[in-house]
Structure 1
Amino acid sequence: MQSNVSDIRLPVALQTLRKALHAKGEQLYKHSILCAEIARHLADAAEFGCGMTPQKAYCAGLVHDVGKLYIPDAILQKPARLTDSEWELIRLHSIYGVQFVKGTPLEEFSDVIGLHHERPDGNGYPYRRSGSEVTADARLIQVADQTAAILEDRPYRRRIGHPGIVIQELAPTVEMCFPDHVKAMLEALRVVAEQHAHSAYEPQGLGEFGGAQGVMP
């Protein structure tokens, strides 16, 4: 019975989250949707040792930056380099996100939320996890997150549209996160880069939700 309740509540929670991201700002909203779509593509293209279905990968991508709802707009939308203290606050968004989803249907994504900026080499944040402590799910979202960031215009820089340069930028992260699947991962990412080579990403309307039932894990 509990599973059925969760199955009913999760799409509602995700739809509510999507509206909250949209209300927070266009940049965060677009980034979250693009990250979700890239994550779904990567999970669909190959397993990469990741246990997420394409549907669950989409949900994880959508929710990964929920902690930024607590970050001031002046920092998220600042059109210049952040100060050290501003970066320290930004780095807390993973912790805020885990706290946000605790006790909700979105709690199943707390691992991805908390670890998507951790690096297998131990140089990530906020917990300085390393090696196998950084789960395959979190690594997949990390790659999708970085890809989305490269393909987007930001207040402080323009997007990168050339597929070759996009792949060049992503290669070190892919090599670190998926050393046994570098070629397959980069091929999947090249497809994404080519799809977005000529124009910035524009997500579907709020009412669409990517086909609400279609995003369910």
Structure 2
Amino acid sequence: MKDRYTFKHSSRVSKYAVKTATKMGLERARIHNLFIASILHDIGKINIPEEVLKKPAKLTDEEFALVKKHPGDGAEMLRQTAYADLADIVEQHHERVNGRGYPFGLKDEEILTEAKIIGVCDTFDAMTEDRAYRKAFTAEYAMNELKQLAGIQYDSAVVEAFEQVLLEEGKIS
């Protein structure tokens, strides 16, 4: 109710994530958990003021620090529910394989595969949708960016599986 973009974004991310995980051969129970975690991955944004969420200009350092709290806030919310076992996935979805993500600066194998999948799908969707501060990039452009950062920010196997999903769907050629 607070932010229509985030609702639609989470729905798209979950569809991409499930297809990517299926392509990677994750077992059914993990895919089910990934589906729920990807729907809820941005739930912590409920604590971010609307003027920051929808700001049409570059965020200040203070505003970006607020945004960077959303994975931890979301995880804390989930830890109080029946979805407590999904909290780590939500908390890690902005971690990057080179250790330059947040909130913990985890690297490579320290990051759950499900969080790596959400990270790739989340980035792609954010790039390919209009935002308050810029127009959408093409799917081809976004996929090329992800491929350039494979093994640096994003898990190479995840990027490869995601690319296969987009090729099969005809979103890229």
- Point out where structure 1 has 5 or more consecutive residues left out of the alignment: 1-22, 196-217
How many Å apart are 1:194 and its aligned residue?
0.9
Percent identity, please: 29
How many Å apart are 1:183 and its aligned residue?
3.7
Q: What is the match of residue 24 of structure 1?
A: 2
CA distance in 1, matches of 2:6, 2:157: 32
How many Å apart are 1:32 and its aligned residue?
1.0
How many Å apart are 1:28 and its aligned residue?
1.1
| Residue 52 (structure 1) aligned to one of 5, 18, 30 | 30
The runs of 4+ residues in structure 1 deviating greater than 6 Å are 48-51
Q: What is the match of residue 18 of structure 2?
A: 40
| Residue 175 (structure 1) aligned to one of 142, 148, 151 | 151
- Point out where structure 2 has 5 or more consecutive residues left out of the alignment: none
Conserved 8 A contact 2:78-2:87: yes
Work out the number of aligned pairs and report it: 172
Q: What is the match of residue 87 of structure 1?
A: 64
Q: How large is the Cα RMSD of the aligned pairs?
A: 2.5
Amino acid at match of 2:4: E
Amino acid at match of 2:24: A
Q: Write out aligned runs for 1:71-110 (5 A).
A: 71-110=48-87
Q: Deviations 1:47-77 (Å, cap 9, x if unpaired)?
A: 2799722x33221210111100111111000
Please identify the structure whose Cα radius of gyration is greater: 1
Amino acid at match of 1:168: N
How many Å apart are 1:138 and its aligned residue?
0.8
Counterparts in 2 of 1:40 and 1:141: CA distance versus 1, 3 Å = same
CA distance in 1, matches of 2:112, 2:120: 13
Amino acid at match of 2:11: I
Amino acid at match of 1:81: K
